[in-house]
Amino acid sequence: MKTDRAEAQNALDARGPLAAGLQADLNRIAGGFGSAATVTVPQPDPETLARLRSLGYVGIAAPSGNARGPDPKDMAPKIRVLNDTLSRAMDDLGAGRTDQALTRLKELSEINERWYDIHLLMGDAYVAKRDYERALGEYAAAGALNPTSAAPHLSTARALIAQGNLDRALQRIDEAARLEPDSSEVALERGRLYERQEQFDKALAEYEKSVRLNGSDLRARARLGDLALRLRKLDLAEREFSTLLAMKYRPADTHYGLGRVAELRGDLQRAAAEYKHALALNPSLADAKAALARISK
């Protein structure tokens, strides 16, 4: 929208992988509506209930499958302000302004404490602050509000992995897989868990599965490329870095990755060119500086 406000150009051809991934997500979501409409919302377990109460939640710990939220038309005058606040909070979170993000998210939560997405984002903000207990509480709240979604389980798994609690993380990933067996996110998180356990071949297989399920997920491709490089699977690493470069994902880091591939193959001329390209894009990229100095000796 910044470069083509009139929407005169069809971006489908240029962003085919992204479009395909989004379409797959939409199909998966739409396909789950039927079963989700009939799900009975379970009571949280005692541990979850205690955590939610300790964090000060009121009325959220005993959701009802028949509960109705505010009438959408009554919320219409507030929608623009709410969306603007949410957008600003997400911008703050992405830019590392965690405290500002939390302030905005708490404001939104006070307006509607049953806003599922807000609890997920607040959990992400607490993870950024390494306040894992509060993060787990927010994810538990999100899971209580939307028990048919794998997202709270996967977010919980990420927090548990960061804590080093890998057994509980695996349980959450398995639960997410039960809810959404074809989710690329499940494969991505399982790969991260295996990588943390230094089961690198298993991790690589999960990252490849994640990319197969959703080729537009740049995180999965980046993890796959980096791990393939570490395992000296140079053809695979080159393929993923080249794809990431075409998708304009962190070009400086991607050129550095391609430089490492070339260096390991003994093609020092190409490696130097890639490292120089990386430094032209990001002069502070220390790894590229060190690599260029190393091969220039």
126 within a domain of the structure (yes/no): yes
Phi-psi region of 6 (alpha: psi -120 to 50; beta: other; left: phi over 0): alpha
Measure the CA angle with vertex 205, ends 200 and 206; round to 5°: 95
The CA distance from 247 to 271, in Å, is 21
The CA distance from 207 to 223, in Å, is 7
Task: State the CB neighbour count (10 A cutoff) for residue 95.
Answer: 10
The CA distance from 6 to 26, in Å, is 25
Q: What is the pLDDT of residue 296?
A: 86
Three-state secondary-structure class, residue 5: coil
Mean pLDDT for each consecutive 10-residue tract of the chain (297 residues)? Answer: 74 76 75 54 58 53 48 59 84 91 89 84 94 93 90 95 95 95 94 96 97 93 97 98 95 97 97 97 96 90
Q: Which two tokens stand for residue 68?
A: 């109705």
CATH number reported for the structural domain that contains residue 58 in this entry: 1.25.40.10
Task: State the CB neighbour count (10 A cutoff) for residue 67.
Answer: 11
Contact present, 241 and 254 (Cβ < 8 Å): yes
132 within a domain of the structure (yes/no): yes
Q: Nearest CA to 138 among 107, 159, 162? A: 159
208 within a domain of the structure (yes/no): no
Range of the domain at 86: 42-64+75-147
139 within a domain of the structure (yes/no): yes
**Which of 147, 164, 195 is where one domain is finished?**
147
Q: What is the pLDDT of residue 261?
A: 98
The CA distance from 108 to 268, in Å, is 54
What pTM did the predictor assign?
0.71
The predicted-structure confidence for 63-114, as pLDDT tens digits, reads as follows: 444 545 555 555 555 667 777 888 888 898 889 999 999 999 988 888 777 7
**Which of 93, 119, 147 is where one domain is finished?**
147
156 within a domain of the structure (yes/no): no
Q: Which two tokens stand for residue 14?
A: 């240029």
259 within a domain of the structure (yes/no): yes
Which amino acid is located at 181 in the chain?
P
Contact present, 110 and 82 (Cβ < 8 Å): no
The CA distance from 229 to 219, in Å, is 15
195 within a domain of the structure (yes/no): no
**Which of 147, 171, 191 is where one domain is finished?**
147
Q: What is the pLDDT of residue 210?
A: 96
| H/E run at residue 127 | helix 116-128
Contact present, 255 and 239 (Cβ < 8 Å): no
| One-character DSSP codes across 139-173 | HHHHHHH-TT-SHHHHHHHHHHHHHT-HHHHHHHH
122 within a domain of the structure (yes/no): yes
Instruction: Please state the domain count of the chain.
Output: 2
Q: What is the pLDDT of residue 190?
A: 97
